[in-house]
Amino acid sequence: MSFKDNVREQIAANIAKARKSKGLSQQDLASAVDVAGASTVSSWERGYNAPDIETLVKICEVLEVPIKKMFGQEEGGGEAPGITISYREQQLILAYRRSPSMQSAVDRILGIDAEVIEAIAPPVAKERWWGDDMTREEFMVASAKRWDDRKNALASFSTSAKAGT
């Protein structure tokens, strides 16, 4: 599935969910945003078509939903403070998540030892890292960073021990 298809599915699901939560019919929404009829809204909600950006803005106004939420991002969420993820980076992340062979190749290139991360995950899970507000991917990144910190501390200790000898 392409990034474009993924976005279309996200928007489709969120239009349907927001419309239903407002208690509007497909015809009500169609009239409010000035499109042909319920069949147009139905095609959006099924992911067959997507509204253009101007219409999507109108939909968000009518349904009182922030546009970020239509794209699957919760308010205040999505990215770490000060970090912006480009479209290309999003594509790479999606490709990584979909392909185990891609994951192992990237892990090798970056020097990430997945077995080590899996091995240290349970002890870290008992600490503050794991929670309902953290995805598995975020947990694994946090675990990898923690592992890197431990390796760096060990290397620093080894260097200082050698210098003191």
Same domain, 62 and 30: yes
DSSP 106-126: HHHHHT--HHHHHHHHHHHHT
| Residue ending a domain, choose from 70, 99, 124 | 70
> Do 38 and 19 share a structural domain?
yes
pLDDT at residue 2 is higher than 60: yes
Same domain, yes or no: 31 and 11: yes
**Can you give the pTM of this predicted structure?**
0.47
Query: Domain range for residue 149?
Result: 112-165
Q: How many independent structural domains does the chain possess?
A: 3
Q: What CATH number should be reported for the domain holding residue 8?
A: 1.10.260.40
Q: Could you report how far apart the first and last alpha carbons of the chain are, in Å?
A: 58
Q: What angle do CA 147, 148, 150 make, to 5 degrees?
A: 65
How do residues 29-53 score in pLDDT, each as one tens digit? 999 999 999 999 999 999 998 898 8
